[in-house]
Amino acid sequence: MNSRRTRIYEGKAKIIYEGPEPNTVIVHFKDDATAFNAEKKAVIEGKGVLNQRISEFLFTKLNDIGLPTHFLRSLNMREQLVREVEIIPLEVVVRNVAAGSLAKRLGLEEGTALPRSIIECYYKNDKLGDPMVNEEHITAFGWATPMELDDIMHMSIRINDFLTGLFLGIGIKLVDFKLEFGRFVENDMMRIVLADEISPDCCRLWDMRNNNAKMDKDIFRRDLGNLVDAYHEVAKRLGIIQPNEQPERSKPKLVKTDL
C-alpha cells in the first residue's frame, strides 16, 4: 500500500483514500467483518478481495445498462477508483423473500416469498443502531429531497429486477440486499448515483442448487461455516473467478465477541 496516500475515512469494512484525480476517491476493501452493530468482529483473510471483485463486476454491469454508479475502475484486487460523492445517510434495503429483521419484526418464517418486492429505508447512524425511517422523516429532516428519493426508489427497483435475474441465472436466490446512494454536481445539476458496494456482505444470497444454503454474511453472523468458500463460489458462478482458482484457506480470526 502506498503510505503517502491521504486517508479520508476508515469504516468497518472499507478505507477511503484521496484519489489521484480531482473528484475521485480510492476505496480499499478490508478483510474485517462486523455484525450486530460491530459487537461481533473478525478478520477473514480473502474477504476484501472477493467483495471488491464481485462489487466491481456488478457495478460494471449496472453501468452497462445505464444505471449510474460511482464506480470508475478497479486499481488492483482490493481497491477501486470511484467518483467522490456526498453519501445520502440512508441504507436502502430491497427485499424479495422474508429474512433477517423483517422476518423477526413481522413474525414471518424465513424463506416466505413476499407478495411483491418491498423497499425499506434506515437512517445511517451507528449510535442509534440504524433506525428504520419513512419518506416523511427523510424529506422533513432533509436527508434527501422528494425528487432524490423518487430517483432512489426507481433505481432500487431497477437494480433489484436486474440483479434478481442475474443471480437466478446462476442458481442463486437474491433474498434481500442493502444499497447506498450518493449525490454530486454535474453541469450545475445535482445527480444521484449508486455508491458503496454490492457484495455478499450486504446481500442475502441463497443457493438454489444446494437446499437454499447461505452464501452471504449470515455465515459469519450465525457461525454457519467458511465464509470465504461461499463468497468464492458466488464469484465463480458469476464467472469472475476461474473454476480452478483456489480461495485463500486461512481460518477466521476472532478479535472480539460481546454477545
Residues near ligand UDP (CB under 6 A) are 91, 93, 99-102, 130, 176-178, 202-204, 217
Q: Is the dihedral of CA 173, 121, 156, 79 positive or negative?
A: negative
Beta carbon of residue 206, minimum distance to ligand UDP (angstroms, whole number): 11
**CA–CA dist 85, 185 (Å, integer):** 9
Taking CB atoms, the residue at the shortest distance from ligand UDP is: 100
Instruction: Work out the angle at residue 216's Cα, subtended by the Cα atoms of residues 249 and 110, and round it to the nearest 5 degrees.
Output: 140
Beta carbon of residue 132, minimum distance to ligand UDP (angstroms, whole number): 8
> CB-based contacts of 59: which residues, under 8 Å, 6+ apart?
69, 71, 194, 197, 198
Q: Which residue has the cell 442475502?
A: 204
Beta carbon of residue 205, minimum distance to ligand UDP (angstroms, whole number): 9
**CA–CA dist 215, 231 (Å, integer):** 6
Q: Identify which of residues 19 and 93 has a Cβ nearer to ligand UDP in the complex.
A: 93
Q: Identify which of residues 19 and 220 has a Cβ nearer to ligand UDP in the complex.
A: 220
Q: Identify which of residues 99 and 159 has a Cβ nearer to ligand UDP in the complex.
A: 99
Beta carbon of residue 178, minimum distance to ligand UDP (angstroms, whole number): 4
Q: Identify which of residues 6 and 125 has a Cβ nearer to ligand UDP in the complex.
A: 125
Q: Angle, nearest 10°, between helix axes 227-237 and 47-64?
A: 30
Instruction: Work out the angle at residue 44's Cα, subtended by the Cα atoms of residues 28 and 203, and round it to the nearest 5 degrees.
Output: 70
**CA–CA dist 112, 109 (Å, integer):** 6
Beta carbon of residue 119, minimum distance to ligand UDP (angstroms, whole number): 11
Q: Identify which of residues 129 and 146 has a Cβ nearer to ligand UDP in the complex.
A: 129
Q: Identify which of residues 20 and 225 has a Cβ nearer to ligand UDP in the complex.
A: 225
Beta carbon of residue 228, minimum distance to ligand UDP (angstroms, whole number): 17
What is the H or E stretch that residue 78 is in?
none
